[in-house]
Amino acid sequence: MRNQLFKSLLISGLREKETIFWILLFPLILFTIMVLIFSNMTGEDLNFKMAVIDHSGDGMGSTIIHQVFEDISTTENPEDDPLYSIIDVKNKDQALVLLKEQHIDVIVEIPENFNQNFNKVVFFSKISSISTDNKPTIIVESVPMRNLSKLASDVMKQILAEVNLEAAKRMNISIPDATISTEMVGQTQDFNYADYFLAGILIMGFFSTGFLNMGINMTYFRRKGIFKRFACTPIKKSKLISATILSNLVFMVMSFVILLIYAKLFYHVTWAIFYPESILFILISAILSLSFGIFLGSVSKTPNGASGLANILFFPMQFLGGLYFPVFDLSPAVRWFVYINPITYLAAGMRQSMGLMDAPLPYYTLFLIPILWTAVLLLISVKIFKWDGGEIA
């Protein structure tokens, strides 16, 4: 009988387009979007538009600067965009209008006394120190609220800092050389955004099942008197509950398999999700999400109410649980939520177990907090759950 119940619940769930969309299809869409955004946000196609206003006339200083600008505004391959494209302007006013209207990202101005001051510095700096007021200055104007403009200004400052070093070398000033390399900390294998988001979206899919399917369905059963009707049949109510849990577990497995096949085929994720510890986190995620479902089904009186409560809980939990972006460096105003949120521990634990990055949390908490949440939710649910209380009372 339980098998039949389970089958009918599963089939009825699969007939629901909403279920198919939110549990099976939506995770694929979100996974694709996230991987596309984060793995492509490299800035490789960056092309800043710059206006150069030169009041300085001819001179050594401005020649060097123009040479640098020429280098950064040309590419070997004519089909590629250079880092900076220089836009011709007649005067500063026109440049400001272009900056205001977002036609350019940055204005570089070489003042009238630039060459004069440059020569002074180059020829007399060894004799006497030059005051800051008399140094050749380049003015870089940007709009910091606009990402591209701010970036254009920052990169320009770095380029001009390099120009300084180069000039020093030519003046036979000994500048020590330095090499810079980088190392990632808290990451135990080559980082891969597809694996990172696989873990996050997988948990999201599981919790969607718990919150949006299990919780709402349980409320619906009670509201419509289905639980009560079952009471008149030889079927035990507990069998209905276990069939509901089992059918939701199958939805989770389906969500997992579909997402994994998709991610493997199109994004070549690793098999790290099958490491024993990762599987343990998958199991805990499934149990916790079902507990949330049972909790919702117990506290909500109507399916609409359950849906509202599910969204109120699930929405901040997924965004502030580290499923999509790192959360441990968020502002203190939300950090408390990050630390009480069980999804934080599941996502961090899953990624640690997959060898993607170490969790900045004590190891035992990765299991303890979600298990504690499960226990508390189930205890509350057992205490307040009612079989009746619906429209057919």
Partner 1 sequence: MKLMLGILKAFLKSRIRDKGALFWTLAFPIMFLVIFGLAFGGDSSSSVSTGAEEIRYAIYLSGEIDEETESNIIKASETMGLKPLLVYSLSDLGESVEKGYDGVEFGISLMDKEGLYEVKAYFNAGAMNKMQFYQSVVNNFVTEFRKTTAGFENIITVETVEREFTEQPVTNTGYILSGVIAVSISLSGIMALIISFGYYRKQDIIKRLIVTPMKGSQFLAADIINNLLVSIITIIIIMLFARLLFQVSFNINFLYFAITYFSSMFLMMGLGGLFLLLFREPNAAMNAANIFSTIMMFFAGVYFPLELMPKWLQRLGYILPMTYVAENIRFSLGQDYMQLSRFWTTNAVFILIAAVAIPLMGKTIFKLEQI
Site for partner 1 in 281-320 (CB under 8 A): 302, 304-305, 307-308, 311-312, 315-316, 319-320
The DSSP 8-state label assigned to residue 270 in this structure reads -
Whole-number Å distance between alpha carbons of 152 and 41: 16
Whole-number Cα distances in Å, 193 to 124, 199, 263: 54, 10, 11
Do residues 51 and 107 make contact, with C-beta atoms less than 8 angstroms apart? yes
- Shorter beta-carbon distance to partner 1: residue 246 or 299: 299
State which of residues 124, 191, 266, 274 lies at the interface with partner 1 (CB under 8 A). Answer: 191
Place of tokens 């279920």: 19
Q: How far is the CB of 175 from partner 1 (least distance, A)?
A: 5
What one-character-per-residue DSSP string does 60-73 give? HHHHHHHHHHHHHT
- Tell which positions 95-124 bind partner 1, by CB under 8 A: 96, 99-102, 118, 121-122
- Nearest Cα neighbor of 198 from 289, 116, 282, 298 is 282
Q: Which of 77, 90, 172, 176 binds partner 1 (CB under 8 A)?
A: 176
What token pair was written down for 381?
Answer: 């649910």
Q: Out of 185, 232, 265, 393, which residue is the one contacting partner 1 (CB under 8 A)? A: 185
Beta strand pairing call for 48-54 and 84-87:
parallel
In the set 77, 128, 172, 181, which binds partner 1 (CB under 8 A)? 181
Q: Per CB under 8 A, which of residues 333..392 are in contact with partner 1?
A: 333-334, 356-358, 360
If the CB atoms of residues 6 and 215 are measured against partner 1, the closer one turns out to be 215
Contacts of partner 1 in 25-54 (CB under 8 A): 25-26, 29-30, 33-34, 36-38, 40-46
CA gap 312, 316 in Å, rounded: 7
Contact status: 325 vs partner 1 (CB under 8 A): yes
Contact range with partner 1 by CB under 8 A, out of 16-24, 222-230, 239-247, 250-258: 16-24
- Which one, of 211, 376, 228, lies nearest residue 306 by Cα? 211
Residues 6+ apart with CB under 8 A from 129: none
Count the site residues for partner 1 by CB under 8 A: 103
Q: How far is the CB of 196 from partner 1 (least distance, A)?
A: 8
**227, amino acid identity:** F
Nearer Cβ to partner 1 (151/260): 151
Q: Which residues contact 362 (CB under 8 A, 6 or more apart)?
A: none
Binders in 146-165 for partner 1, by CB under 8 A? 146-148, 150-151, 153-154, 156-158, 160-165
Nearest residue (CB) to partner 1, 286 versus 323: 323
Q: How far is the CB of 379 from partner 1 (least distance, A)?
A: 27
